[in-house]
C-alpha cells in the first residue's frame, strides 16, 4: 500500500485533491498557520459552513474531525481535524494525533473521496515535535490504507524542506520494512 502515500513540498491550498485536511482548533472558527491559509484561499463560505457545523455539533475536540465544502479551494471538501497541543508527551498527545489522522481518513472513506492531502498536523502553533509527528502520521495512514484499501492516494504536504525530509525518511523506512 506504500505507493498510495507520498510527500511533497508546497502550499496545501494550491494542490488539487478530492479532500484537503485542515489543522483546525476546537472552535472551528479559523486561526493562523495552515488553518488561516485554507480559510483565506477558500473564501467566506468555508467559515459560514464551519459556523453551521459548530451550531449543530458544538466544538470539535482534539482527535476528532468534521467535514465541510471547500469554497474556492481546488478540492471537493475540507476535513477539519484538531490535533493535540504538545505538553511534553505525557498527556496522550501521540494517541490524539493518531486519532486526528484516523478520523480524517474515516470521513474521507465515508464520503467516497479517493485522494486526500494532509498538512503536518500539530507541528506548528501546537508545538508537536516534527520527527515524532511525521512518524505517527505515516504509520497511522499506512495502517489505515492497508486495512481499508482506501483512499487511493494520500499526499503529505510539507511546508518546509526539513519536514519533507522527515516524511521521506519515514516512507523509505516503511518501504524497507523497518518499523516506524
How far apart CA 100 and CA 83 sit, in angstroms, is 6
Using CB under 6 A as the binding rule, the residues of this chain from 154 to 173 that contact ligand AR6 are: 157, 159, 163
Q: Which is nearer to ligand AR6, 75 or 157 (CB)?
A: 157
Q: Which residues are catalytic?
A: 35
Residue selected from 125, 139, 174, 180 as contacting ligand AR6 according to rule CB under 6 A = 125
Q: Which is nearer to ligand AR6, 120 or 176 (CB)?
A: 120
Residue selected from 17, 24, 77, 78 as contacting ligand AR6 according to rule CB under 6 A = 24
How far apart CA 140 and CA 124 sit, in angstroms, is 20
Q: How far is the CB of 82 from ligand AR6 (least distance, A)?
A: 8
β-bridge pairing 77-81 and 65-68: antiparallel
Contacts of 80 (CB under 8 A, 6+ apart): 21, 22, 24, 28, 50, 53, 60, 65, 66, 67, 68
Q: How far is the CB of 70 from ligand AR6 (least distance, A)?
A: 14
Number of DSSP helices (H) and strands (E) in the chain, helices first: 5, 6
- Taking the CA of residue 151 as centre, how many other CA atoms within 13 Å lie in the half-sphere pointing to its CB? 28
Using CB under 6 A as the binding rule, the residues of this chain from 25 to 44 that contact ligand AR6 are: 25, 31-35, 37
Binding segment toward ligand AR6, per CB under 6 A, in 46-54, 105-113, 122-130, 136-144: 122-130
Amino acid at each position: 500500500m506504500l505507493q498510495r502515500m507520498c510527500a511533497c513540498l508546497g502550499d496545501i491550498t494550491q494542490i488539487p485533491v478530492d479532500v484537503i485536511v485542515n489543522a483546525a482548533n476546537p472552535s472551528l472558527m479559523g486561526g493562523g498557520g495552515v488553518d488561516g491559509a485554507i480559510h483565506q484561499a477558500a473564501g467566506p463560505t468555508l467559515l459560514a459552513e464551519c459556523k453551521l457545523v459548530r451550531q449543530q455539533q458544538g466544538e470539535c475536540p482534539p482527535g476528532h474531525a468534521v467535514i465541510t465544502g471547500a469554497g474556492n479551494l481546488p478540492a471537493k471538501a475540507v476535513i477539519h481535524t484538531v490535533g493535540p497541543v504538545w505538553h511534553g508527551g505525557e498527556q496522550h498527545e501521540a494517541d490524539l494525533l493518531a486519532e486526528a489522522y484516523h478520523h480524517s481518513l474515516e470521513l474521507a472513506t465515508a464520503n467516497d473521496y479517493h485522494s486526500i492531502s494532509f498538512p503536518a498536523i500539530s507541528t506548528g502553533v501546537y508545538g508537536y515535535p516534527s520527527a515524532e509527528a511525521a512518524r505517527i502520521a505515516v504509520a497511522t495512514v499506512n495502517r489505515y490504507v492497508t486495512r481499508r484499501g482506501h483512499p487511493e492516494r494520500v499526499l503529505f504536504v510539507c511546508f518546509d524542506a526539513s519536514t519533507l525530509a522527515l516524511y521521506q525518511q519515514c516512507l523509505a523506512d516503511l518501504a524497507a520494512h523497518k518499523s516506524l
